[in-house]
Homo-oligomer: A and B are copies of this chain.
Amino acid sequence: MTFQYKNVYLENTSTIAGPYEKKGPLAKYFDIVFDDLYYGEKSWEKAEAKILEDALQLLLQKSRTKKEDVDLVISGDLMNQITPSCYSNLKYHLPFLGIYSACATCVEGLIIASNFIDGKKIRRAIVSTSSHNMSSEKQFRNPTEYGAPKPKTATFTATGGAAFLLSNQKSSVRIESATLGRINDLEQTDPLHMGSVMAPAAADTIYQHLTDLGRDPSYYDLILTGDLGLYGKEILMDYMKEEYHINIGEHYNDCGIMLYDLENQKECLAGGSGPVCSALVNAGMIYDYLKTGKFKRVLWVATGALFSPTMVYQHENILSIAHAISLEVVE
């Protein structure tokens, strides 16, 4: 399902990133970086909620926007019952939509907001997401065996919060189109190789997007998946070639790889993951590149592994989904 928009603009973004992201090559594009994974709070979960709350406040400040001028907030994250999203939104008391699409959550939110704005249902929305390396490790890998080695195919959940202000008022970057993904099952069962789980979902959505709009990969300065990591990236390129006879190699990169210096940050294994990973890359570097004219068109394909410890324990396959939006410079 592909949508095209006439009047949906990206008015501003805000980004807050943690200590691992601070050491990565994109640090200079983040508004705020911090060192303490507790972020001054008493638990990782409360830290994640506070990071997201601060990202919302920063977005309003940067945009010189009062909360009364925002029609709704859409937010989601990885935590059970999306608690960081709920708690972070409390003090704004704005109409709220909670969403969940694993690491594809942020783009799902951007698509909902874009459809509302382009359909003239609202004028302005905030879309936000967060993840936290430790709150995720605690929730998804519980009981964690400390010191247990992970395979090099495993990804590393990014820590931070990101928020996007969308509007019907003209600005320099717009959301030009979007493709809603479908749930895929390639019978993958390894939660330590999410790249292989999610690559087919990314391929399905990229193919659908290009086909629906009659485009080829060269239409975009960059097609960005988020977040397949080193091995998933290779799988996606192969899969696109073999399944769809499309070579995306020249125009393609992955947010999970870009977020860290993987040569030196060995702890990040195959690359970043978590919903904030591709959100930080796009709200940070990509938004900067579009505003300054280094890029004209970018396709952001957020990938999500619909992964639940409960279903993995019950030997079910890990499902996946990918949602895409096209960001374009306004001429």
Interface range for A: 35 or more
- Contact across chains for B95 and A98 when beta carbons are under 8 A apart: no
**A161 CB within 8 Å of chain B:** no
Determine the distance from Cα of A86 to Cα of B105 in the docked complex, in whole angstroms. 14
Whether A93 contacts B182 in the complex (CB less than 8 A), given A306-B83, A308-B81, comes out as yes
**A18 CB within 8 Å of chain B:** no
**A211 CB within 8 Å of chain B:** no
- Contact across chains for B100 and A76 when beta carbons are under 8 A apart: yes
A82 contact set on B, CB distance < 8 A: 100
Whether A95 contacts B180 in the complex (CB less than 8 A), given A118-B119, A308-B80, comes out as yes
**A279 CB within 8 Å of chain B:** no
Determine the distance from Cα of A309 to Cα of B115 in the docked complex, in whole angstroms. 34
Stretch of A20-28, A219-227, A252-260, A314-322 at the chain-chain interface: A314-322
CB distance from A64 to the nearest CB of B (A): 22
Whether A319 contacts B46 in the complex (CB less than 8 A), given A181-B96, A182-B95, A310-B79, comes out as no
CB distance from A157 to the nearest CB of B (A): 14
DSSP class of A's interface residues: helix, strand, loop or mixed? mixed
CB distance from A167 to the nearest CB of B (A): 15
How many copies of this kind of chain does the complex include? Answer: 2
- Contact across chains for B121 and A90 when beta carbons are under 8 A apart: no
- Contact across chains for B45 and A311 when beta carbons are under 8 A apart: yes
CB distance from A202 to the nearest CB of B (A): 15
A93 contact set on B, CB distance < 8 A: 182-184
Q: Which residue of chain B has its CB nearest to the CB of A120?
A: B119
The residue that A121 contacts in the complex, of B76, B108, B115, B309, with Cβ under 8 A, is B115
A90 contact set on B, CB distance < 8 A: 183, 185, 319
**A248 CB within 8 Å of chain B:** no
A100 contact set on B, CB distance < 8 A: 76, 81-82, 98-100
Quick one: which of A79-130 are within 8 Å of B by CB?
79-83, 86-87, 89-90, 93-102, 108, 112, 115-116, 118-122
Q: Which of the listed residues A43, A99, A101 has the most CB atoms from chain B within 10 Å of its own CB?
A: A99
- Contact across chains for B183 and A89 when beta carbons are under 8 A apart: yes
**A213 CB within 8 Å of chain B:** no
Determine the distance from Cα of A311 to Cα of B122 in the docked complex, in whole angstroms. 32
Whether A314 contacts B116 in the complex (CB less than 8 A), given A96-B181, A183-B86, comes out as no
A89 contact set on B, CB distance < 8 A: 183
Determine the distance from Cα of A118 to Cα of B120 in the docked complex, in whole angstroms. 9
**A3 CB within 8 Å of chain B:** yes
- Contact across chains for B79 and A308 when beta carbons are under 8 A apart: yes
Residues of A within 8 A of B (CB): 1, 3, 42-43, 45-46, 71-72, 76, 79-83, 86-87, 89-90, 93-102, 108, 112, 115-116, 118-122, 139, 180-185, 306-311, 314, 316, 319, 321
Interface contacts beyond A1-B95, A76-B100: sample of 19 additional A-B pairs, CB < 8 Å, sorted by A: A1-B71, A1-B122, A3-B121, A80-B81, A80-B309, A81-B102, A87-B311, A90-B183, A90-B185, A93-B184, A95-B180, A97-B99, A97-B101, A97-B112, A98-B100, A98-B306, A99-B100, A100-B100, A118-B119
